Each structure stands twice: as structure tokens, then as C-alpha cells.
Amino acid sequence: MEDQNSSMHAKKSNASIAQIILLILAGESVFILPFVLPRIFRPTYLDVFELTNFELGSCFSIYGTVALLSYLYGGAIADKFSPRKLIAGSLLLTALGGLVMSTFPSVSTLHVIYGYWGFTTIFLFWGAMIKATRVWGGTTKQGSAFGFLEGGRGFVAATIGAIGVYIFSVILPSNVATAILVERQDAFRYVILFATALAFFVGGLVFFFMDNSKKIDTPIISSESSLANIKKVLKIPSVWWLMLIVLSAYVGYKLTDIFSLYASEVMLFDEVKAAQVGTFQLYIRPIVCVAIGLLADKSRGSLWIMIGFVVMLSGALIFASGQVQSGLNFLFFLSLVITATGTYAIRTLYFAVLQEGKIPLAVTGTAVGLISVVGYTPDIFVGPIMGYLLDRSPGIVGHQEVFMLLALFAALGLIASIQFSRLSVLKNS
């Protein structure tokens, strides 16, 4: 009997590991096309699509506008339907956009694609992923659950980025600086198609192998109406502070898009080396996320969110000072590591503290949707603002202004996290 129990425990453990791996693969694969590629390859991305920084920012803005409604209604959907079908459908539909993207369409068509992705990656996906992760973590391992999710996503993004950079560098002529536009487009097309194929593949894995047992789903599905759930969530004070925390942290995450461009325009790296910088920052993510997730389970997640904002603020101020210039490679990478560490630490934990904020499991999707409506508005305004500042003041000055913006939001996030922590202490005392 003891052997039988041990065998059953091992099977459950293996199944649990398989589920989080699927969530990790899905959680990053769905965002490779709209966000990871422009983050890693920003100089190249602007070149091959013949975009200004502002035009690329407008694509992100359209994505964010569609996502705004998708967060709200998608959250309610996540409380009513199986994560397996929602996540698989999201990946497959997102991949279709990649096929159109590989033709290097006009700016107006890119606007349509990004609006389409605002629906496919958020309405069907976001709330379902967060809820599935929260269920996986149980009542005592929320930090670890979200740490493994974010860390794993970071590792996947970095690995895909490294493969993408390799594909791009191999297909490009040996002299990167002399490659003409058509040659750059041909090389980048293979990168896009690789990301597209990955989304199709992971979507299939999720559909066939993600756990869809009603035994798991039933206890966490709300029987109340969507409107009743919304009213219930809005009465929880911690939700409002989480909105500001996510808003501030997400500004930081959006501004990590700038590092590869900073490497190109300020540090004077070539396109391949600049893309490698974008990949390097992604490798910071899994280390930080797993470590901070484990630490959060030993104390309070809100405490580490506060520390994260302090670290983010410090890194932003170093860049904003204008001291990080060509030739000072060590200072550049050190400042990048500091800024990215703070950003990724906060991102890991802001949904891991739902339990600390006394938000019921059954309304997780609705809560995540409402928090995201406010928290992810940077998708709408950060891209255009960043693009405007960079186009208006080329070189280091524009970058300084961008990092000053980051410092302001880091300060706002620090205030919000202090208030959330105080509130959670009162609730738990």
C-alpha cells in the first residue's frame, strides 16, 4: 500500500511539473511576435518595417487599446471556461498574425495586426494563464508559482531570442553594416516564421496535454454573474493599490524595450551586438524571478515588491544622469542589470500577492481583468511617448528623458506598494 501511495504521489508530482512547463511555454510563446522580437531586435525592427520610433509606438498603442477591453471581459471569461481551450485558441490565432507579419506589410496593416493581437493574446489568454498559475501554486506557494512562471517565461524568451539572433546573423551577409534592406528583410523573415511556427506548436501541445479535468476546474469556477463578481472585486481595497503597482511596474517592463536601441544609438554597437544585448537582459529574468519567488514564500511578497521598486528607481536614475556613454561598457551592463532586476522582481510578484490581498480564488479572473484594465494602460501610452522622446532628441538626450519617465513611475509604484503592504498587514493581523 505504501509503495502504491508513493507511486501515485510521483505521478501527481510529474503531472504538476508538466502543467507548469506548459504554462511557461504558452505564457511566453504567445508574446514573442508582438513584443519579444521588437524588444530584442528594435533597431532591426525599425529598419526592416521602415518605421520611426513613434510609428512603432503607435502599433503598441493600438494593441493596448484593444487589450484594455480584452482584460476586463477576458477576465470574466477565464472564470467561466477551461484554461486549456482558451490558452490553445489564443496561441493558434496569434500565430496567424505572424504569417501576415512575415510579408513586411505597411504601417496601417501593422496597426491592424497589433489590434488583432490585442484580442488574441489578452481576451482568450491572460486571465486564464494567471488563474491556472494561481491554482497550481495552492495556498502556500504563490511566490514560487509565479516565480517559476515568470522565470521560465524569461528563459524561454531568452532562448528563443538567442536562436532568433543566430538565425538572423547566419542569413545576413558577413558584413552586417553593409547589408541592404532586402537582405535584412530576408534574414528577419526567417526569425518571424520561426516565432510563428513555435506559437502553432505550443498551441497544439496545450490543447492535447494540458490538464482539463473537471475535478480541478469545478471548485474554482464562480457561480455568480460576471457583474456580481466585478462588484465584489471592486469592494476589495487591495485591488486598487495593486492597480497602481502593476501600472508602475509595467511602465518599467515596457521601457526594457529600449536597451537594444540604447546599445545601438548610444553605446554604438552594431545590429547583431545590439540584439545580443536584448537577449542578455532576458537571461536576467529567469534568475531574478525564481529567486524572488522563493524568497517571497519565506516572507511577504509585498515587501519584495517595495525593494524591487527601490532597485528599479536606482537603475533609472543612473541612466537618466547621462553618465552611461560609449566606451563605458561595464557601467552600461551594470546599470542594465540593476534596472532589469528591479523590473523583473516586481513583475514576478504583483499577481502572487492576490492571496496576501485577500482576493478570493473564485474571482481571480475578474480581479486580474480589472487590475489589468488600469495596470496595463502603459501599452497605450508608453510606446508613443517613448517614440516621441527618442525621435525628438536623437542620441543620449532622448534616452535620458525616457529613463527619467521610468524614475517617476518607480517612485509612484514604491508609494503604492507601501500602502498595499500596510493594508495587507492590517488584514492579516
- Residue spans of the domains in the chain: they are 16-208+225-428
pTM of the model: 0.76
Q: Give residue 409's pLDDT.
A: 96
Mean pLDDT across the chain: 83
Q: Give residue 28's pLDDT.
A: 85
Is residue 1 scored above 70 in pLDDT? Answer: no
Q: Give residue 376's pLDDT.
A: 87
**Amino acid occupying residue 169:** S
User: Which of 116-120, 145-149, 209-213, 359-363 has the lowest average pLDDT?
Assistant: 209-213
**Given CA atoms 210, 216, 220, 226 in this order, what sign does their dihedral have?**
positive
Q: CA 30 from chain center: how many Å?
A: 10
Is residue 18 scored above 90 in pLDDT? Answer: no
Q: What is the DSSP string of 362-398?
A: GGHHHHHHHHHHHHTTHHHHHHHHHHHHHHHSTTHHH
Give Cβ neighbours of residue 174 (< 8 Å, ≥ 6 apart).
none
Q: Give residue 428's pLDDT.
A: 59
State the Cα–Cα distance between residues 219 and 133, nearest whole angstrom.
15
Q: Give residue 138's pLDDT.
A: 67
pLDDT band at 219 (very low <50, low <70, confident <90, very high): very low
State the Cα–Cα distance between residues 300 and 178, nearest whole angstrom.
53
State the Cα–Cα distance between residues 15 and 24, nearest whole angstrom.
14
Is residue 339 scored above 90 in pLDDT? Answer: yes
Question: Regarding predicted confidence, which is higher, 244 or 297?
Answer: 244
Question: Regarding predicted confidence, which is higher, 428 or 393?
Answer: 393
Sort 13 into a burial class: Cβ within 10 Å, 0-12 / 13-18 / 19+.
exposed
- Render pLDDT for 83-138 as a digit per residue (tens, 0 to 9): 788 888 999 999 999 999 999 999 999 999 999 999 999 888 877 777 777 777 66
Residues 31-42: b if buried by 16+ CB within 10 A, e if exposed: bbbbbbbbbbbb
Q: Which range among 124-138, 139-153, 342-356 has the greatest average pLDDT?
A: 342-356
What Cα–Cα distance (Å) separates residue 225 from each residue in 214, 228, 230, 232? 20, 5, 9, 11
Question: Regarding predicted confidence, which is higher, 338 or 140?
Answer: 338
Place of cell 546599470: 335
C-alpha cell at 37: 522580437
pLDDT band at 14 (very low <50, low <70, confident <90, very high): low
Is residue 78 scored above 70 in pLDDT? Answer: no
Is residue 218 scored above 90 in pLDDT? Answer: no
Is the Cβ–Cβ distance between 251 and 346 less than 8 Å?
no
State the Cα–Cα distance between residues 119 and 285, nearest whole angstrom.
26
Q: What angle do CA 345, 348, 349 make, to 5 degrees?
A: 95
State the Cα–Cα distance between residues 199 and 192, nearest whole angstrom.
11
Q: Give residue 346's pLDDT.
A: 92
pLDDT band at 297 (very low <50, low <70, confident <90, very high): confident
Q: Give residue 74's pLDDT.
A: 73
- Render pLDDT for 307-329 as a digit per residue (tens, 0 to 9): 999 999 999 999 999 899 988 99
Q: Give residue 217's pLDDT.
A: 42
Nearest residue to 96 via CA among 116, 70, 124, 69: 116
**Amino acid occupying residue 222:** S
Place of cell 512547463: 21
Nearest residue to 183 via CA among 169, 193, 204: 169
pLDDT-above-90 percentage for the chain: 34
**Given CA atoms 234, 237, 242, 247 in this order, what sign does their dihedral have?**
positive
DSSP reduced 3-state for 105: coil
Question: Regarding predicted confidence, which is higher, 74 or 252?
Answer: 252
pLDDT-above-70 percentage for the chain: 87
Question: Regarding predicted confidence, which is higher, 33 or 15?
Answer: 33
State the Cα–Cα distance between residues 267 and 331, nearest whole angstrom.
11
State the Cα–Cα distance between residues 348 and 276, nearest whole angstrom.
23
pLDDT band at 368 (very low <50, low <70, confident <90, very high): confident
Is residue 175 scored above 80 in pLDDT? Answer: no
Q: Give residue 215's pLDDT.
A: 39
Architecture label for domain 16-208+225-428: Up-down Bundle (1.20)
Residue 360 parent element (H or E):
none
State the Cα–Cα distance between residues 428 and 175, nearest whole angstrom.
61
Q: Give residue 143's pLDDT.
A: 67
What Cα–Cα distance (Å) separates residue 308 from each residue in 55, 178, 245, 303? 31, 42, 11, 9
What Cα–Cα distance (Å) separates residue 396 from each residue in 25, 137, 234, 360? 36, 43, 43, 47
